[in-house]
Amino acid sequence: MRDTYHEDLDSLSDRLVEMTRLARHAIARATTALLDADLNAAQEVISGDDALNRLDEEIEVSAFDLMARQQPVATDLRTIIQSLHMAGDLERMGDHAVHIAKIARRRHPDSAIPAELRSIVLEMGHQAELLVIKAGEVVSNRDVETALELDSDDDRMDRLRRKLLKRILDPGWSHGVEATMDVTLAGRFYERFGDHAVHVADNLVYMVTGEKPKDYEPEV
């Protein structure tokens, strides 16, 4: 019975890692849709969000079932509760990828991103992928030290968003209201995607150590 219990606990982690894989694919395809006015990529992201939602629901059902049947305490209880939090963040990461894809779909056959901003948005897409890849590694390996790095890794995403906003607020900006809204929203969705990756890492730190990241002091 206890072997099955621990297999069920491990399955929570496995599903979370799969969610990071799906979230990475979603943000990569959403970036392609946005920059290349790729309607097929946009539709793939939008329809593919169902898979992330299902995993989120499966984790919720499994978590409540484990709590009801096993009455876990200490580390096991933290594992279950923090898995619920992480699944919620990953589900929302998928939602942000969908929002980006919908911007691309709305402007098709044109690209929503003016040519002079493409390199910044491409960097934001790449940074989003790096963050979710790292989040997946952190969950898979229960790697506290790497988890603590994500907050500073996310600073690059914040700098890119500020750079984007600076460009559209420049007096020389001439692309009109629609482009301004599209770029502003896309930048916000990328930033929030990164924020949720950091939340996943923070929850992993608490799950493993019982301490919030700001309070955790690595052993020397």
Strand ranges inside 3-133, DSSP E: none
The tens digit of pLDDT for each residue in 67-86 reads: 998 888 888 999 999 999 99
pLDDT digits (tens, 9 = 90+) for 44-71: 999 999 999 999 999 999 999 999 988 8
> What's the predicted TM-score (pTM) here?
0.94
- Domain 2-209 fold is Methane Monooxygenase Hydroxylase; Chain G, domain 1 (1.20.58)
**Cβ proximity of 35 and 111 under 8 Å:** yes
Q: Which amino acid is at 202?
A: D
Residue 186's contacts (CB-CB under 8 Å, 6 or more residues apart) are 34, 100, 103, 112, 113, 121
